Chain A
Amino acid sequence: MERRVVITAASAITPIGHTKDELIDSLINGKSGVKKIKEDDLLTDRVESKVFGTVSYPIDFDFKRKYRKTMGPVAYYACQVVKEALESAGLEQDFISSGRMGVAFGSTHGSPTVQRQIYEHFFSGSEERFSAIGAVDYLKSMVHTTAVNITKMFEITGRVISSSTACTTSSQSIGYGYEAIKYGMQDAMICGGADEYDTTTVAVFDNLLACSTEYNQTPHLTPRPFDTKRDGLVVGEGAGAVLLEEYELARKRGANILGEVIGFWCGNNGGDLILPNMAGISETIIQGLQNAGLEPNDVDFVSAHATATKMGDVAESMAIGNVYGKGPHVTGLKSYMGHTMGSCGVIETIITLHMMEKGFIAPTLNLEEVDPRCDMIRHTGKLREIPIKIASIQNFAFGGVNTSLFLKKV
């Protein structure tokens, strides 16, 4: 038995805003959330990329100590967006704790801030500092810290899925949450991802020559997906959560349905762990379309992964071109906020839901001159007032992991 799955609540913390209105304002007015990187005493002097997709506004975290004590910064983000999503959904606590609702939530690697503190103790050579490693440091830093802090705070007793596949972390969360409901294992799943401000991630991509370095004095002009003058990705921070529910249950309780998840696919390139792979991406899109029961010309909008690396954007454009031709409008939403890593899939999903509701498609920011090698697709060069009925969100990660997710306006 296959069941319909709908999204009934969403919340995001992003470099371009926290509320729905802030996000829409940034998209419509072309506001970038990329800022100069904040100085730290660790890496910022040594990395060449001096830009970061930064959450620069205050957030009123109001968590009791019994929750705070096992949370690093990444779990604060995760629990905040889940709190906001659940508050807007209005589910009964009895249902949340019934075992019929689960969590699919992850981050790239837990809390690097807390991990750094642990390593400082380890390598200090001091007995006293070694014994100072706190009992809760592991709970704050571990890979599944977001998912289980969520279960604790909201007393969720169902399934726990905690992907940590870098850039496909939260698209996998949504996809696997969708499958858990579709096939009857759960009736609702709170799904998403988060990543905190972290300069070690910048160093990883910087050392691979994948980070943007030419716009250090003009952060808002980078990243530039598909543009001839793009020079790499910009690392960012953020979080997002979507509540997935079985359609009939959502309808009966009068839930506000934001959209329907109609298909998902995840595949691997089966080879190189870093290089983008046109064949692997194409296959993931094709399998996703089949899973959703769609033809390529059914899709109105594609949210491209589009990190603005030299090779990645070309491989993705070719894959989209191969499958869709110049049919759907394509936007690279990372152009507004950089690459929020474990949260990019869910943030791009939430933005797509907002555009679906409001009837517009945001352009790719900083796309001034399309790279001829990316010109086989229908780029969104300016703001379009076009209704989206069916959209696809695609994400790709180190390790050769590819996902495609398909949403429908209900």
Chain B
Amino acid sequence: MTRDEIKTNILLIFDEEFEIVNPGLDDNLTEDHDFDSIDALELLGEIEKILGSELTRQEKKDAMEIRTVNQICDYVASLAVKRALM
């Protein structure tokens, strides 16, 4: 799994699940795209599918400060490394 693949996956999820098409990678998702706390929880479920494993409570808490697509990609990449997927 490369970071580019992660980015492609995340952007596809934003398109299909959240109807947010091609957001800027550094856009503030809450302010620029109405991405809210409910969406964040749904996204964590989608990330679990990408990783093929459940997130721990701490990993979920770590995600609460994320604001941009780039930060999401970094977050997923770090979890993938932890799970020896990268």
Interface members, chain A 101-139 (any B CB < 8 Å): 131-132, 134-136, 139
Contact partner, B42, options A64, A66, A131, A135, Cβ 8 Å: A135
Contact partner, B38, options A64, A69, A131, A132, Cβ 8 Å: A69
Taking a contact as CB atoms under 8 Å apart, the answer to whether B18 and A135 are in contact is no
> A70 at the A/B interface (Cβ < 8 Å)?
yes
Instruction: Tell me, in angstroms, the Cα distance from A167 to B34 when the chains sit together.
Output: 37
Minimum CB–CB distance from A148 to chain B (whole Å) comes to 13
Extra inter-chain contacts (6) besides given A69-B42, A70-B38, CB under 8 Å: A64-B19, A65-B19, A66-B34, A134-B45, A135-B38, A135-B41
Taking a contact as CB atoms under 8 Å apart, the answer to whether B48 and A136 are in contact is no
Instruction: Tell me, in angstroms, the Cα distance from A64 to B36 when the chains sit together.
Output: 14
Interface members, chain B 26-69 (any A CB < 8 Å): 34, 36, 38-39, 41-42, 45, 48, 54
Taking a contact as CB atoms under 8 Å apart, the answer to whether B54 and A131 are in contact is yes
Contact partner, A131, options B39, B41, B48, Cβ 8 Å: B48
Instruction: Tell me, in angstroms, the Cα distance from A69 to B42 when the chains sit together.
Output: 10
Give me the interface of B with A, judged by CB distance under 8 Å: 18-19, 34, 36, 38-39, 41-42, 45, 48, 54
Can you pick out 23 interface pairs between chain A and chain B where the beta carbons lie within 8 Å of each other? A64-B19, A65-B18, A65-B19, A66-B34, A66-B36, A69-B38, A69-B39, A69-B42, A70-B38, A131-B45, A131-B48, A131-B54, A132-B45, A134-B42, A134-B45, A135-B38, A135-B41, A135-B42, A135-B45, A136-B38, A136-B41, A136-B42, A139-B38
Residues on the A chain within 8 Å of B36, using CB: 66
Residues on the B chain within 8 Å of A64, using CB: 19
Minimum CB–CB distance from B4 to chain A (whole Å) comes to 27
Minimum CB–CB distance from B57 to chain A (whole Å) comes to 13
